[in-house]
Amino acid sequence: MENTPKLSYVTPSSLRLHDGAAHSDQKINDVVITELRDPRPLLEGGELVLTTGERQHEEMGQRLFAENVAHGNAAAIGFVIGLRHRAAPAAMLEIAEQSGLPVLEIPSRSLVSESSPFQNPPGKPERASLPTLSEHQRRMLDEVVAGRGIAGVLNRLSEATGAPTAVLDLTGAGLDPWADSYDWSTHRLHDQRLRMTAIDPPHARTLLLSMARSDAAAELQEHAAQLIHVELGRTAAFQAGRRELAGQIIEDVVRDALSGSEASRKLVTIGIDPGDSHSVLLVRSDDEAASHAAQLTLSRTAEVVAGVGAYGVGVMRGPQSAAEWAGSLARYGLDGQDLAVGIGGPYPGVQGLRWAFLEAQEAAAHGSGVHQGRLPNMVRLLMSMPDLPLREVAHKAMQPLVEFDALHTGDLVRTLTTFLDSGCSPQQTARELFVHRNTVRYRLEQIERLTGLSLASTENRVHLWLASQLLA
């Protein structure tokens, strides 16, 4: 860096030395073009730092930029006017004057690019023409405005840098059509040439990857990451609305609140063909990261993703294996202990979808892990029928016992449920309650007298057992 570079892409007569005249004879060793608020990582000393002030919207940012350039021992600031700013900001000039840092005002029309900003001049590090860099940024923004989303932004980024790019989620799966056209396997993530930018830093859910390593490419990649962040937020909001609508329809089907024809018509609107056999997968977790990972898995494997109550719901054609789904979760670093997963079905038709949901709900009730469903019990089936006054009937049957226990500090309700769960054995009930069997017999007589139901009748036993389960 002994020779002073000639700025052949700047018309010399257009330069205006704004401040720091006492230091105007300082030798320039290099040129750095940047919009970073803190360009010190790019500086070795003696550079002319060119900027348009694209990110210097407020006085604080303008002051910090000048301070950082001065602390990086740069030779001068070259401020391009006519793009973002009509003149060099006063706050920046104030700090530059205090630091003895010259400021050159350079009209944008005087900048003439001689080469691509992403090509290396012989023997020089990669440098960019600011108008060209800004044009690439505008083109990426145009892709978002035109509705071409993440794919459009990445296409422009790859076009500008001449390097492969991709957006990957936390499984390593690509979120764009170009992700599979390049080997983004695990060993690539340790490649020193690979530049990674987190799209959602709080959970590191998504990464923007590029094999371009120039300073200009770094700025473009950061700009692309911001656009992708906005696009992911927009997409997430849209998907949340769809999940809510699908959840309402599925919940109505499960509650049997729709006629057969109406249920079929509404299911078709959310992408479920009632003529096919479907499995239902329910996911529940109190952990936000685990819940998000499960939602990502559902979105990649299910025909329809919905939310019903505390559950994330996935509807899929054909059978689903608990072991395979546990493997899918493992790709997200989850072992199944962070969430409860139930799988039901497959069953055909509208009623089949309802059965699959109830079966999955029964399986998820087993707690943490991935559970394959079995036929739901009668209580859960009965409770899924909103038109039946089951709780009212159960309350009427159990109310005399509940009131007696409250008034006399009794234990009739627990005695009844223990008796029924023990196979109606007074001896076993006495052992579990730690009381004499005569005490159990006396309490059972009180239960019969208060309810008016004989416990010798199988029908009455079933009636009271269902009532106790419904009110449990």
Same domain for 375 and 332: yes
Residue-level pLDDT at 386 = 59
Can you give the CATH number for the domain in which 174 is found? Answer: 3.30.450.40
Show the tokens assigned to 408: 């006399």
Residue-level pLDDT at 272 = 92
Can you give the CATH number for the domain in which 339 is found? Answer: 3.30.70
Same domain for 429 and 349: no
Residue-wise pLDDT tens digits, 87-111: 889 999 999 989 888 888 887 655 5
Judge contact between 336 and 369, C-beta under 8 A. Answer: yes
Listed residues 328, 353, 383: the one ending a domain: 383
Same domain for 266 and 341: yes
Handedness of CA 205, 209, 215, 220 (dihedral sign): negative
Residues in the chain with pLDDT values less than 50: 1-15, 19-22, 112-131, 171-174, 176-191, 201-204
Same domain for 372 and 277: yes
Is residue 157 situated within a structural domain? yes
Same domain for 377 and 273: yes
Same domain for 374 and 410: no
| Residues facing residue 49 across a β-bridge | 32, 77
Same domain for 366 and 403: no
User: Which single residue is written with the structure tokens 């600031």?
Assistant: 77
What's the CA gap between 326 and 393, in Å, rounded? Answer: 41
Show the tokens assigned to 94: 């104030």
Residue-level pLDDT at 70 = 92
* Domain assignment of residue 319, given as a range: 255-383
Residue 403 one-letter amino acid: E
Is residue 242 situated within a structural domain? no
Can you give the CATH number for the domain in which 455 is found? Answer: 1.10.10.2840
Reduced to 3 states, what is the DSSP secondary structure of residue 61?
Answer: helix
Give the count of beta carbons closer than 10 Å to the beta carbon of residue 301. Answer: 15
- When computed from its CA atoms, the radius of gyration of the chain, rounded to whole angstroms, is 35
Listed residues 366, 383, 400: the one ending a domain: 383
Residue-level pLDDT at 207 = 67
> Helix count (H) and strand count (E) of the chain?
15, 13
**Strands across the sheet containing 206-210:** 165-169, 206-210, 195-198
How big is the chain, counted in residues?
Answer: 472
Residue-level pLDDT at 247 = 92
Same domain for 215 and 280: no
Judge contact between 428 and 420, C-beta under 8 A. Answer: no
Show the tokens assigned to 75: 């030779």
Is residue 248 situated within a structural domain? no
Is residue 244 situated within a structural domain? no
**Strands across the sheet containing 304-308:** 304-308, 311-317, 277-284, 340-348, 369-372
- The secondary structure of 282-341, three-state, reads EEECCCHHHHHHHHHHHHHHCCEEEEECCEEEEEEECCCCHHHHHHHHHCCCCCCCCCEE
Same domain for 77 and 47: yes
Can you give the CATH number for the domain in which 37 is found? Answer: 3.40.1390.20
Same domain for 148 and 85: no
Residue-level pLDDT at 405 = 92
Show the tokens assigned to 156: 């422009």
Nearest to 309 by CA among 384, 392, 203: 384
For the residues of 141-192, what is the DSSP string, one character each?
Answer: HHHHHTT-HHHHHHHHHHHHH-S-EEEEETTS-BSSTTGGGS---GGGGG-T
- Estimate the crossing angle of helix 458-470 against helix 390-408, to 10 degrees: 90
Residue-wise pLDDT tens digits, 29-54: 777 777 777 888 778 888 888 888 87
Residue-level pLDDT at 170 = 54
Residue 422 one-letter amino acid: S
Reduced to 3 states, what is the DSSP secondary structure of residue 227?
Answer: helix
Reduced to 3 states, what is the DSSP secondary structure of residue 194?
Answer: coil
Is residue 106 situated within a structural domain? yes
Is residue 240 situated within a structural domain? no
Residue-level pLDDT at 334 = 63
Is residue 115 situated within a structural domain? no
Show the tokens assigned to 347: 């069953």
Same domain for 375 and 261: yes
Q: How many domains does the chain have?
A: 4
Listed residues 80, 110, 140: the one ending a domain: 110
- The secondary structure of 108-134, three-state, reads HHHECCCCCCCCCCCCCCCCCCHHHHH
Same domain for 264 and 373: yes
Phi, psi of 77 (to 5 degrees): -105, 130
Is residue 249 situated within a structural domain? no
